[in-house]
Structure 1
Amino acid sequence: MIKINILVMPLLQSLLLIGSLEAGCPVYLTVSLTGKTLQDTFLEINWGPNCYGPPQWVGIYGQDPTISNFQPDLRIDGLANSTGKMITPIKLGKLHFPGGWNRQDDGDQPVTQYPTGKCLPHYVASYNGTELLTVDCLKIQPNWMAHIKDVSQMPLKNIFLPGTHASGAVVGSSSKTNSILVRDYLVAQQFDVWSQLIFGIRYLDFSIGYKNMNTENDADNFWIANENMLITPLLGILRDVRQFVKRSGEMVVLDFSSFPIGFYKHPEVYSSLFRLLRQELGDEAYRRNVSKNEHCADRNFRKILLQNKHHLVILFPSQELPYPENESNLICPPWQRFSSSFMNISQTLDYMRLLFSKKTNSPVRDDGWIFTAVSSMEQTLNAHQLLTAKQRAAVLNPKVNQWLKGPWGNNANVVAMDYFSNTNLVDLAIQVNAHKAFIMANQDYINLEILNLA
């Protein structure tokens, strides 16, 4: 008799995941980088990567096409390539979040839980003839972390956290600023921080500037900065973050990554910012064990939430603070940071191959780490081609998003982008985290005995 032990569960799960990601031709919606205002921005359809037989046609709908025989608002025939992206003439329109998730909704009322996200009135469906192949939608994911089984037991350094770079570098959704410099080169996101969180972003990157505004409230002196210029006040953004985590129960990582204006050789300014963070976010911030030099990235967010239901992990360079603030348990040391800022596309691919492979020569270590997929204005100047922030993101983001859909995505920790909204980064992170959490939870695999009775 021959007995063979087979590790069935992870193999089966991996096959199912690969099948779901690669079978057929996934088609999804993103928000293009067009339009002077968010409402005027056009939707775009995306398919692939590596479609095995593109559909005959794709329809854009304002209602769920699976519940009735609606006619599409737009029909697109003949998707010939295996991977592609196409801007449609359908505008995003005014955003309204259902289920109590608008900023102005009553925060004392319970919000609706959406385990698999909630579709906004923008759907895309693919067909062969009259046969419906796939349906997807532009969706919000306000509480996705709470609904992935076992992900709360994973250390933060093992979770794929979708993020934004220069998260607060935004102008209002209806703003038509007359400054070409601000609109084209300094703004880095289409959605404000509240909307980013509602769509599922869980890492926010803040570059902070200080300017004395001659007011009685010192909080008014702190601003979001980008490309070494002041963009928008910080205080309202901190309050949006606090309101979101209280309403959602989700965990968010805040990274105070740089301080380009007004901080140099001014420790008292760092101290003032720290006091503002303690005042506005202290009740929601995770308190680490300073005496044990605890690495916040080693903690799983279930334990973080159990600590008086704290929802924020604040990364801050404590060495810039005077004693005793530099030993505060309110802040965590910064994680490793890697950026494609000064690289072209081929260099970015090589750099990602080095980072995400996690081979012995990779600089990524066993700690929290952040990959910022951006192309700086200076890099385009060096290439003798000055591109706007949107133009740079339109070139880089789809490439990085596609590369992460391969095995590299399984090794991702934080991936932060400018204009994340022209990718499906959040959906990708959810898929990867569900897979990783399943594998972690089933380390004691089921063994099947195959008996050879011959």
Structure 2
Amino acid sequence: MIKMKIFLFVSLLQSIFLIGSLEAGCPVYLTISLTGKTLQDTFLEINWGPNCYGPPQWVGIYSQDPTISNFEPDLRINGIANRTGKMITSIKLGKLNFPGGWNKQDGNEQPPSQYPKGKCLPHYVASYNGTELLTMDCLKIQPNWMAKIKDVNQMPLKNILLPGTHASGAFMGSSSKSNSILVRDYLVAQQFDVWTQLVFGIRYLDFSIGYKNMNTANEADNFWIANENMLITPLVGILRDVRHFIKRSGEMIVLDFSSFPIGFYKHPEIYSSLFRILRQELGDEAYRRNVSNEEHCANRNFRDLLQQDKHLMILFPSQELPYPENESNLICQPWRRFSTSFMNISQTLDYMRLLFSKKPDSPVRDDGWIFTAVRSMEQTLNTHQLQTAKERAAVLNPKVNQWLNGPWGNNANVVAMDYFSNTNIVDLAIHVNAQKAFIMANKDFVNLNILNLY
């Protein structure tokens, strides 16, 4: 037993030193900028840091893996000097085509490929000193990341960093018939539909729901995704995308019905109608909580869900439902929410310092909680500088992503953003959760506060 403890202690130290050596260098990675009128015309951006201690001499962007052959870069960038930053390139994203059967329209005849370490799309970034390769990364999909991290399925959901999106269904494709500038520039909140968000690795979805009687025989037609108190797109197709992804991936998803701004006030029968649709579309995939002991679903872990052969947790304010639906075991009580909607960058930093420190004066407790890093349209109006949703996210997201790369990321639960694609929040979550799962699995052998060694 003593030998085993020493071995694990040494292994943990090796992991810490490896992490330290990586952070002491200069990680370089790709994200998708928030430029371009269409997704295909959107430019890639390179990111470096945080806190580069040895910036590379040059960085190359490739359409093929530069480690397997001596390809010439499609774009070469020289002279990165500052320790943290990002730069929009002239390389366009182009049409997204996912490998391994992960396109939404791919058939179900063959099971999709498993990518436990992600799968690169044809966009790579590498950094060099002269001809010496320092780092290599790529724009990648992560459809199986959660199920593949050793021991993460034993962690309570309240201890897992779940990358999420705010107003997850507020997406409008290029084929949409709406020409409204208000909708496209100010109310749409994501570059990707929900299916694509999940394939990239998002595991928390936030839905604000509106009701409008469409005078059809199908009650599902009356429910819409809403944002900034306006209707955006029908709900039921998005629920089916969630179900489709769960069945193909086996991943766990938290689905949060966070607000009901249109048509629900003083209408419990409309809440009941929405509940019936959720039960019909997602009931056989949703975790069934223990009603008798008033369990808090954030205390459950992925393994608990799998024991029921379930992969979805639905957060819904049951008090809005009439009896007996308000006692249904299909839904879990909402987790605590904290938002930066009406804050500037300085206030956001102070607020994050309060929340993520988990000090005695922090409102965060040992429970499930959601940090929504957004700026509302109303907030920009109050500052007499109306910004589009993309402009707001382009300023806020990189800052939040950078701050979470430090010790705060270890204390995060759900982090939800508009236009998450200009961050590496999914890679960050995988890195943090792998560390946390390792420490949890070996807590009986070694007691180290890893944060003090950073």
TM-score bracket, normalised by the shorter chain, equals over 0.9
Q: Is the 8 A contact 1:17 1:435 kept in 2?
A: no
2:106 and 2:234 mapped to 1: Cα distance?
22
Q: TM-score, normalised by structure 1?
A: 0.95
For residue 14 of structure 1, report the CA deviation from its aligned partner: 5.8
Q: Is the 8 A contact 1:39 1:174 kept in 2?
A: no
For residue 111 of structure 1, report the CA deviation from its aligned partner: 1.0
1:435 and 1:371 mapped to 2: Cα distance?
21
> What do residues 202-243 of structure 1 show as CA deviations (whole Å, max 9, x unaligned)?
000000000011111000000000000000000000000000
- Hey, which bits of structure 1, 4+ residues long, moved more than 3 A? 173-177
What corresponds to 2:342 in structure 1? 342
What corresponds to 1:276 in structure 2? 277
What corresponds to 1:451 in structure 2? none
- 5 Å-filtered alignment, 1:101-112, equals 101-112=102-113
Q: TM-score, normalised by structure 2?
A: 0.95
3-state SS of 2:284 partner = helix
What corresponds to 2:380 in structure 1? 380
For residue 384 of structure 1, report the CA deviation from its aligned partner: 1.2
- 5 Å-filtered alignment, 1:176-215, equals 177-215=178-216
Closer/same/farther in 2, CA of residues 193 and 253 from structure 1, 3 Å limit: same
1:275 and 1:11 mapped to 2: Cα distance?
49
2:188 and 2:174 mapped to 1: Cα distance?
12
What corresponds to 2:418 in structure 1? 418
3-state SS of 1:365 partner = coil
- 5 Å-filtered alignment, 1:293-308, equals 293-307=294-308
Bigger RCO (CA 8 Å, 6+ sep): 1
Question: What RMSD, in angstroms, separates the aligned Cα atoms of the two structures?
Answer: 1.6
> What do residues 329-373 of structure 1 show as CA deviations (whole Å, max 9, x unaligned)?
000000000000100001000100010011111101111000000
What corresponds to 1:366 in structure 2? 366
Q: Is the 8 A contact 1:37 1:174 kept in 2?
A: no
1:13 and 1:331 mapped to 2: Cα distance?
43
Closer/same/farther in 2, CA of residues 17 and 254 from structure 1, 3 Å limit: farther
Q: Is the 8 A contact 1:397 1:423 kept in 2?
A: yes
| 1:18 alignment partner AA | I
Q: Is the 8 A contact 1:173 1:191 kept in 2?
A: no
What corresponds to 1:95 in structure 2? 96
3-state SS of 1:64 partner = coil
| 1:165 alignment partner AA | H
3-state SS of 1:167 partner = coil
What corresponds to 1:287 in structure 2? 288
What corresponds to 1:267 in structure 2? 268
What corresponds to 2:171 in structure 1? 170
Q: Is the 8 A contact 2:24 2:54 kept in 1?
A: no
| 1:375 alignment partner AA | R
Closer/same/farther in 2, CA of residues 86 and 92 from structure 1, 3 Å limit: same
What corresponds to 1:130 in structure 2? 131
> What do residues 138-157 of structure 1 show as CA deviations (whole Å, max 9, x unaligned)?
00000001110000000000
2:171 and 2:121 mapped to 1: Cα distance?
22
1:267 and 1:10 mapped to 2: Cα distance?
56
Q: Is the 8 A contact 1:370 1:415 kept in 2?
A: yes
Q: Is the 8 A contact 1:58 1:75 kept in 2?
A: yes
Q: Is the 8 A contact 2:209 2:223 kept in 1?
A: yes
Gapped regions of structure 2 (runs ≥ 5): 1-5, 448-454
> What do residues 384-421 of structure 1 show as CA deviations (whole Å, max 9, x unaligned)?
11111111000000000000000000000000000000
- 5 Å-filtered alignment, 1:117-156, equals 117-156=118-157
Q: Is the 8 A contact 1:10 1:439 kept in 2?
A: no
For residue 109 of structure 1, report the CA deviation from its aligned partner: 1.9
1:240 and 1:70 mapped to 2: Cα distance?
38
Q: Is the 8 A contact 1:37 1:175 kept in 2?
A: no
> What do residues 267-307 of structure 1 show as CA deviations (whole Å, max 9, x unaligned)?
00000000000000001000000111011100011111111
For residue 13 of structure 1, report the CA deviation from its aligned partner: 5.5
- 5 Å-filtered alignment, 1:16-35, equals 16=17, 18-19=19-20, 21-35=22-36
Q: Is the 8 A contact 2:210 2:263 kept in 1?
A: yes
Gapped regions of structure 1 (runs ≥ 5): 448-454
Aligned residues: 443
Moved more, 257-266 or 378-387: 378-387
> What do residues 64-101 of structure 1 show as CA deviations (whole Å, max 9, x unaligned)?
00111111111111111111111111111111111111
For residue 21 of structure 1, report the CA deviation from its aligned partner: 4.7
